[in-house]
Amino acid sequence: MMEDNSHKILSDKIPFYRDIRFLKVFFQILFVIGIILLTGFLYVNMLNGLSRQGIELGLNFLNSEAGFELSEGIDFEPSETYLKAFWVGIVNTIKISIIGIFCATVIGFFFGIARLSNNWLIRQIASVYVECFRNIPLLLQILFWYALTRVLPVVRESISFFNSIFINNRGVYFAFVERADGFNAWLWYLLSGSILAIFVVLGFAAFRYFFRFRELQQTARPSFISNITFGAKWAAAPIFLIVAIVGWFLTPEQPFAVTRPALQGFNFVGGMSFSPEFSALLIGLAVYTSAFIAEVVRSGIQAVVRGQREAARAVGLKESQVLRLVVIPQAIPIIVPPLTSQYLNLAKNSSLAIFIGFPDLFMVGETMINQTGQSIPVFAMIMVSYLIMSLTTSAFMNWYNRRITRVGK
């Protein structure tokens, strides 16, 4: 009897409403239908809402005249199109992001390492810096720096450093390297240098691959690609540098010249300049993000197991070698992923520019919405631009991370 019974239970078909395979598919279909219904509901609402407001969707407006001025960025006339204005905004966002990321990284690494100093005072200063700037909203910091630029002296009474940096209420002016007459001639030297380097590297790699290691077994033989990278490191870089330096001296005119800002009339001319808006945004972004980067760096270095450091010391490495050969190679793979998200945060936070009137991507987009009422397409453009920037940055950093991880392990 028992046997029969159990046999019966096993052979009984489970009703379909209790079959996990069926339920999985069923719930997914329900979920998808729910999402489709929701989207449809929103879409119908959108059509009604748009007809109520009398807006017709479309991208045609992008080719019409913008009619507003942009205070900063590549040259832009109000008579140019909306598309061009949007492009100016994108370039401004990229510019502030790249400069900001550079500054934040430098300051962040400095304070991160300072937090691990064996000097008590330096350690304390670094922690106070990190805690202060990390715990105050970025917007507040940017507004604060912007308020400070308003109380800077007028142009005639600029604060100057070494006669090459001038700070006044119209911005920061500093000496900068610019292309000079000899630049094109020098470019030819660079081009010939790179061609020469490529030939040398290929020849070198071919030599190593076909002659030098010919005796080795196929498996032990370094691949052609690894020979090229070896050659690029030891032959191409020196050749390129030598050609570049020799070319620098051979060109009749200097390829680059340092231009200093000089007071002409009511303003400074020459060199490079940052507007007050740009400077305030840059300081805010760089300082705020650097506090987070400092923490990332500190915890990354601390995450390298203590025993590693002690073992390195025990085998007699110098303190500098301990850092260079043992700690840093292991810390970098830990640091890179959170560093990437800080970089992405900085790029996204640059949208706070709208609060102080720096024409970045978001502010230009918002102006476009105000003028044309085309909120949905413009929002889509803004979001897609940010998404592309985020995805490219994280793709690049992931690639870099994979590369160094492979070296490290």
Partner 1 sequence: MENLAFTQEVKPPNTQKGPVKWLKDNLFSTWYNSILTCLGLVILFFVFKSVFTWVFTQANWKVIPANLQILSIGSYPLEQIWRVSSVIYGLAVLLGLSAGIWNGLTRQITVAIGCIGAIILLLPFHISVREHALIANVIIAVCFAIGRDRDNWKRWVVIGWVLSFPWTMIMLHGFGADTVTTTNWGGLLLTLILAAIGILACFPLGVLLALGRRSQLPAIRWVSTIYIETVRGVPLITLLFMGSLLLPIFMPGDFQLDKVIRAMVVLTLFSAAYMAENVRGGLQAIPPGQVEAAQAVGLTYPKTMLFIDLPQALRSVIPAIVGQFIALFKDTSLVSVVGLLDLLGIGRSILGNPDWQGLQPEVYLFIAVIYFIFCYAMSFVSQKVEADLGIGKH
Give the footprint of partner 1 on this chain (CB under 8 A).
Answer: 24, 27-29, 31-32, 35, 42, 45-46, 48-50, 52-53, 117-122, 125, 131-132, 134-141, 143-144, 147-148, 150-151, 348-349, 351-352, 354-355, 362, 366, 369, 375-376, 379, 382-383, 386-387, 390-391
- Cβ closest to partner 1, residue 34 vs residue 238: 34
- Rounded to whole angstroms, the Cα distance separating 276 from 304 reads 42
* 267-269 and 262-264 strand pairing: antiparallel
Find the shortest distance in angstroms from Cβ 251 to partner 1.
Answer: 42
- Cβ closest to partner 1, residue 118 vs residue 218: 118
- Cβ closest to partner 1, residue 38 vs residue 269: 38
Find the shortest distance in angstroms from Cβ 156 to partner 1.
Answer: 21
Of 177, 180, 165, the residue nearest 274 (C-alpha): 165
- Rounded to whole angstroms, the Cα distance separating 277 from 355 reads 10
- Cβ closest to partner 1, residue 260 vs residue 348: 348
User: To the nearest 10°, the Cα dihedral for 84, 86, 88, 91?
Assistant: -130
The answer to whether 123 and 294 are in contact (CB under 8 A) is no
- Cβ closest to partner 1, residue 29 vs residue 246: 29
Find the shortest distance in angstroms from Cβ 164 to partner 1.
Answer: 23
The answer to whether 279 and 286 are in contact (CB under 8 A) is no
- Cβ closest to partner 1, residue 229 vs residue 375: 375
- Cβ closest to partner 1, residue 243 vs residue 364: 364
| 247-264 exposure pattern, b = at least 16 Cβ within 10 A, e = fewer | beeebeeebeeebbbeee
- Tell how many helices (H) and how many strands (E) occur in the chain: 14, 8
| 133-147 exposure pattern, b = at least 16 Cβ within 10 A, e = fewer | beeeebeebbbebbe
User: Residue holding tokens 């600029």?
Assistant: 158
Find the shortest distance in angstroms from Cβ 25 to partner 1.
Answer: 9
Of 103, 93, 146, the residue nearest 289 (C-alpha): 103
- Rounded to whole angstroms, the Cα distance separating 322 from 316 reads 9
Report how far apart, in Å, the C-alpha atoms of 385 and of each of 88, 118, 136, 290, 366 are: 13, 45, 28, 25, 14
Find the shortest distance in angstroms from Cβ 131 to partner 1.
Answer: 7
- DSSP string across 368-402: HHHHH--HHHHHHHHHHHHHHHHHHHHHHHHHHHH
Find the shortest distance in angstroms from Cβ 392 to partner 1.
Answer: 11
- Cβ closest to partner 1, residue 65 vs residue 131: 131
Find the shortest distance in angstroms from Cβ 242 to partner 1.
Answer: 35
- Cβ closest to partner 1, residue 85 vs residue 280: 280
- Cβ closest to partner 1, residue 46 vs residue 246: 46
Find the shortest distance in angstroms from Cβ 161 to partner 1.
Answer: 16
Find the shortest distance in angstroms from Cβ 61 to partner 1.
Answer: 16
Of 180, 145, 185, the residue nearest 356 (C-alpha): 145
